[in-house]
Amino acid sequence: MTQGETGGSLPLSGVRILDLSRMIAAPWCTQMLADLGAEVIKIERPGKGDDMRGYGPPYLKNRDGGNDDSPYYVSTNRNKKSVTVDLSTPEGADVIRQLAKVCDILVENYKVGDLKRYGLDYESMRKLNPRLIYCSVTGFGQTGPDAQRPGLDTLFQATSGLMSMTGEADGPPQKVGMPISDFIGGMYATVAVQAALRHREVNGGSGQHIDISLLECTMASFGSRAQTYLVSGQVPQRRGASTPANEPAGLYACADGDIVLSAGSDNQFVKFARALGRDDWVKDARYHTRSQRNIHRLELNAEIGPLLAKHDRAHWLEQFKDGGVMCAPINDVAEAFAEPQIRARGMVTHAEHPRAGRVPLIANPIRYSETPIPPPRISPDLGEHTDDVLSTLLGMSASDIAALRAKKAL
C-alpha cells in the first residue's frame, strides 16, 4: 500500500492502473491518480518512450550539464513505473493483456480503433477482466464525424469557441497560454475513473468503458458563458481581463505595471470608491448599482484610469487590500512562485533525480487532513521498472524476460 506522509494509506492505495497514454491529457489523469496513491504502470515504446521525453528545448539538465528528459515529461509522469513494451508485436500485445488481468484501470489515448488492431480494445479486454475500467481519452470522442481525426490542444481551444472568448475586445482571438484543453480533459478523466471505481464497488463489481473527448471537456468547462448562449442566443465576446456584467473589473495600468481588480458588486464598489478617495461615486446615479455601472462602464473606467496611473502598483495593491477590495498583481511565473502565499503553502516540492540531483516540482494542490500527499518520486527512466513489474505481477523469470527482449517485444 502507498503511504501518506503521516503513515496512513493514501486514498487510492491498492488500486493498480495500466497506463497506455502519451503526451499530456491522459498522462495528467494517471499522474493525478498516482499522486493519490494508485500504482501506475506506464507502458512506453522500447528505445524511445513517450514523445514528451524529447519535447524540448529546454530540458532538465544533468549534473554534467547534459540534456535529460523535458519539463513536459517530468511534469506529467511523477510517481509512475515505466515498463517498455512494443504492443505492435504479438508477444508485446500479450504482455499488455496479461497486465490488464491484474489491473483495475486501463487509460489510453490512441486514435479511435488503433488498439483494436492488436486485440487491446475495450471489448477484447473486458473478456479477460470484466472488472476492468477502461478509459479512452481522445480529441473528439469515440463517435461522430470527427472521431478519427488527430488533434492537439490548440485545435480544441479553437473549435470549442474558447479562443473566440480570449483576448482583448479589439484584438484577434487568443490561445490560452498553456495547454488548457489537455489539463481540463485530464481532470475530467480523473473524476470519471474514480466514479467508475465507486460504481464497481457498490453495483456488482463490473467495469465499464469511459469515453473522454477533449473538445467536449473544454466546452463543458465554459459554465455560465456557454449557458448564457444556450438560454439567450447571445454569443460571448472577448472582453480581455474584464468580466461581463461586472464593473469595474479587469486589468488596470498603474505607474509601473498592471493589476487586476474586481469591484462589481455594490458592496465592493463602495469599498473601491473609498480606497480611491472618491466617495462621491457612491451617490452618483450612473454608478449607484451594478446595472448602472455596466451601462456607464466606459465613463467609469475613463475616471479610474488616470487615478491609478498616479501611483505604482505596490501602492494600490496595499490600498485596495487594506480597503477590502479584491485585487492582484499581473505576475509572470517567476513572480508567482515568489508570492508569499505560494511559498507558505508549499507549492514547490522536490524529488531526487538519478542524474540531475534534487529537482524542483510543482506540488499537488490537494490538501488532505488525514492522508496528506507525500513528496513525489521523480518521473521514471525509460523501462526502469520493466523487469520488476513483469516478474512481480506476472511471475516471469529472468529467462522469460530475456526471451521477450530477444523478440523485440520489450
At 137-188, the pLDDT tens digits run 999 999 999 999 999 999 999 999 999 999 999 999 999 999 999 999 999 9
In a shared domain, residues 195 and 323: no
pLDDT given for residue 262 in this prediction: 94
In a shared domain, residues 107 and 215: yes
- Which of 294, 329, 364 marks a domain boundary? 329
In a shared domain, residues 272 and 212: no
Q: Which grid cell is 302?
A: 475613463
pLDDT given for residue 5 in this prediction: 54
Query: Which pLDDT band, with edges at 50, 70 and 90, does 242 fall under?
Result: confident
Range 204-208 average pLDDT: 94
The burial class, CB within 10 Å (0-12 / 13-18 / 19+), for 260 is: middle
The Cα-based distances of 358 to 79, 352, 371, 378, 385 in angstroms read: 15, 5, 24, 10, 21
Range 5-20 average pLDDT: 85
In a shared domain, residues 129 and 28: yes
Select which of 35, 69, 153, 182 is catalytic.
182
User: What are the backbone dihedrals phi and psi of residue 40, each rounded to the nearest 5 degrees, phi first?
Assistant: -110, 120
* Under 8 Å between Cβ of 24 and 179: yes
- Which of 286, 303, 329 marks a domain boundary? 329
pLDDT given for residue 126 in this prediction: 97
Please indicate, yes or no, if residue 325 is contained in any of the structural domains. yes
**Distance (Å, whole) CA 180 – CA 159:** 13
- CATH number for the domain that contains residue 153: 3.40.50.10540
Q: Is 182 a catalytic residue?
A: yes
In a shared domain, residues 180 and 103: yes
pLDDT given for residue 244 in this prediction: 75
**Distance (Å, whole) CA 207 – CA 199:** 8
Model confidence, pTM: 0.93
Residue 322 domain boundaries: 249-253+258-329
In a shared domain, residues 350 and 325: no
Please indicate, yes or no, if residue 187 is contained in any of the structural domains. yes
Q: Tally the domains of the chain.
A: 2
In a shared domain, residues 162 and 276: no
Please indicate, yes or no, if residue 31 is contained in any of the structural domains. yes
Per-residue model confidence as pLDDT tens digits over 80-109? 999 999 999 999 999 999 999 999 999 999
Per-residue model confidence as pLDDT tens digits over 357-375? 999 999 999 999 999 999 9
The mean of the pLDDT values for the chain is 95
**Residue 273 pLDDT greater than 60, yes or no:** yes
Range 114-131 average pLDDT: 98
